[in-house]
Amino acid sequence: MFCEQCEQTASGNGCHQWGACGKSPEVNSIQDLLVYCLRSIAPIALKAYELGIPNREIDRFTCEAMFSTMTNVNFSTKRFADSTQQVLQLRKTLKQAVESKSPTPISWPEICNYQPDFEENLSEQGQNFALDLIQKANGNIDIYSLQLTTIYGIKGLASYAFHAYELGQEDEKIYQFIYEALIALDRQDLDLNAWVGLALKVGEMNLRAMELLDAGHTGHYGHPTPTSVPLNHRQGKAILVSGHDIKQLEALLKQTVDTGITVYTHGELLPAHGYPILKQNYPHLFGHFGTAWQNQTKDFAKFPGAIVVTTNCLMPPHETYDQKLFTLGPVGYPGLGYLPSDADGIPDFTPVIQEALELPGFLDDETLREVKTGFAHNAVLSVADHVVEAVKAGKIRHFFLVGGCDGAKPGRSYYTEFVEKVPQDCVVLTLACGKFRFFDKELGEIGNIPRLMDVGQCNDAYSAIQIALGLAKAFDIGVNELPLSMILSWYEQKAVAVLLTLLYLGIQDIRLGPTLPAFISPNVFQLLSDTYHLKAISTPDEDLAACLA
Q: Which is nearer to ligand FSO, 287 or 407 (CB)?
A: 407
Contacts with ligand SF4, residue ranges (CB under 6 A):
3-6, 8-9, 15, 19-21, 23, 28, 71
Instruction: Please report how close the Cβ of residue 312 comes to ligand FSO at its closest, in angstroms.
Output: 4
Residue 494 interacting entry, from ligand SF4, ligand FSO, none, C-beta within 5 to 8 Å by type: ligand FSO
Instruction: Please report how close the Cβ of residue 363 comes to ligand FSO at its closest, in angstroms.
Output: 29
DSSP letter, residue 304 = S
What is the residue type of 429?
A: L
Residue 63 interacting entry, from ligand FSO, ligand SF4, none, C-beta within 5 to 8 Å by type: none
Contact 263, 284 (CB under 8 A): yes
**Is 268 annotated as ligand-binding?**
yes
Residue 289 interacting entry, from ligand FSO, ligand SF4, none, C-beta within 5 to 8 Å by type: none
Instruction: Please report how close the Cβ of residue 348 comes to ligand FSO at its closest, in angstroms.
Output: 25
Q: Which is nearer to ligand FSO, 155 or 494 (CB)?
A: 494
Q: Which is nearer to ligand FSO, 326 or 362 (CB)?
A: 326
> Which residue is closest to ligand SF4 by CB?
19
Instruction: Please report how close the Cβ of residue 289 comes to ligand FSO at its closest, in angstroms.
Output: 15
Q: What are phi and psi of 491, to 5 degrees?
A: -140, -60
Could you give the C-alpha distances from 149 to 33, 55, 154, 187, in angstroms and in order? Answer: 19, 27, 8, 16
Cα Dmax for the chain = 72
**Is 244 annotated as ligand-binding?**
yes
**Is 163 annotated as ligand-binding?**
no
Full strand arrangement of the beta sheet holding 238-242: 285-288, 262-265, 238-242, 306-309, 325-328, 337-339
Contacts with ligand FSO, residue ranges (CB under 6 A):
244, 267-268, 293, 312-313, 405, 432-433, 457-458, 491-492, 494-495
Q: Which is nearer to ligand FSO, 65 or 458 (CB)?
A: 458
Residue 5 interacting entry, from ligand SF4, ligand FSO, none, C-beta within 5 to 8 Å by type: ligand SF4
Chain centre distance of CA 498: 9
Distance CA 325, CA 308 (A): 6
**Is 63 annotated as ligand-binding?**
no
Q: Which is nearer to ligand SF4, 19 or 203 (CB)?
A: 19
| Cα 540–Cα 544–Cα 547 angle in degrees, nearest 5 | 140
Contact 149, 520 (CB under 8 A): yes
Concatenated DSSP letters for 53-75?
---HHHHHHHHHHHHHTSTTTB-
Contact 248, 199 (CB under 8 A): no
Residue 491 interacting entry, from ligand SF4, ligand FSO, none, C-beta within 5 to 8 Å by type: ligand FSO
Residue 186 interacting entry, from ligand SF4, ligand FSO, none, C-beta within 5 to 8 Å by type: none
Q: Which is nearer to ligand FSO, 307 or 433 (CB)?
A: 433
Q: Which is nearer to ligand SF4, 25 or 290 (CB)?
A: 25
Residue 432 interacting entry, from ligand FSO, ligand SF4, none, C-beta within 5 to 8 Å by type: ligand FSO
Residue 514 interacting entry, from ligand SF4, ligand FSO, none, C-beta within 5 to 8 Å by type: none
Instruction: Please report how close the Cβ of residue 203 comes to ligand FSO at its closest, in angstroms.
Output: 15
| Residues in a beta bridge with 338 | 327
Distance CA 230, CA 317 (A): 26
Instruction: Please report how close the Cβ of residue 65 comes to ligand FSO at its closest, in angstroms.
Output: 17
Contact 415, 437 (CB under 8 A): yes
**Is 15 annotated as ligand-binding?**
yes
Q: Which residues contact 410 (CB under 8 A, 6 or more apart)?
A: none
Q: Which is nearer to ligand SF4, 6 or 328 (CB)?
A: 6
| Residues in a beta bridge with 308 | 241, 326
Burial state string for 512-544 with b = 16 or more CB within 10 A and e = fewer than 16: bbbbbbbbbbeebbebbeeebebbebeebeebb
End-to-end CA distance of the chain: 46
Contact 360, 324 (CB under 8 A): no
**Alpha-carbon torsion angle 70, 74, 75, 76, nearest 10:** -130
Residue 293 interacting entry, from ligand FSO, ligand SF4, none, C-beta within 5 to 8 Å by type: ligand FSO
Q: Which is nearer to ligand SF4, 19 or 287 (CB)?
A: 19
**Is 21 annotated as ligand-binding?**
yes
**Is 112 annotated as ligand-binding?**
no
Q: Which is nearer to ligand FSO, 300 or 491 (CB)?
A: 491
Task: Check residue 396 and give left, alpha or beta (phi > 0: left; psi -120 to 50: alpha).
Answer: beta
Instruction: Please report how close the Cβ of residue 513 comes to ligand SF4 at its closest, in angstroms.
Output: 16
Overall size of the chain counted in residues: 549
Instruction: Please report how close the Cβ of residue 132 comes to ligand SF4 at its closest, in angstroms.
Output: 16
Distance CA 323, CA 98 (A): 46
Q: Which is nearer to ligand SF4, 21 or 458 (CB)?
A: 21
Please state, as a whole number, how many other Cβ atoms lie within 10 Å of the Cβ of residue 449. Answer: 16
DSSP letter, residue 439 = T
Residue 331 interacting entry, from ligand FSO, ligand SF4, none, C-beta within 5 to 8 Å by type: none
Instruction: Please report how close the Cβ of residue 294 comes to ligand FSO at its closest, in angstroms.
Output: 9
Instruction: Please report how close the Cβ of residue 267 comes to ligand FSO at its closest, in angstroms.
Output: 5
Residue 15 interacting entry, from ligand FSO, ligand SF4, none, C-beta within 5 to 8 Å by type: ligand SF4
> What angle, rounded to 10 degrees, do the helices at 246-255 and 192-221 form?
30
Annotated binding residues for [4Fe-4S] cluster: 3, 6, 15, 21
Give the annotated binding-site residues for hybrid [4Fe-2O-2S] cluster: 244, 268, 313, 405, 433, 458, 492, 494
Binding residues, as ranges, are 3, 6, 15, 21, 244, 268, 313, 405, 433, 458, 492, 494
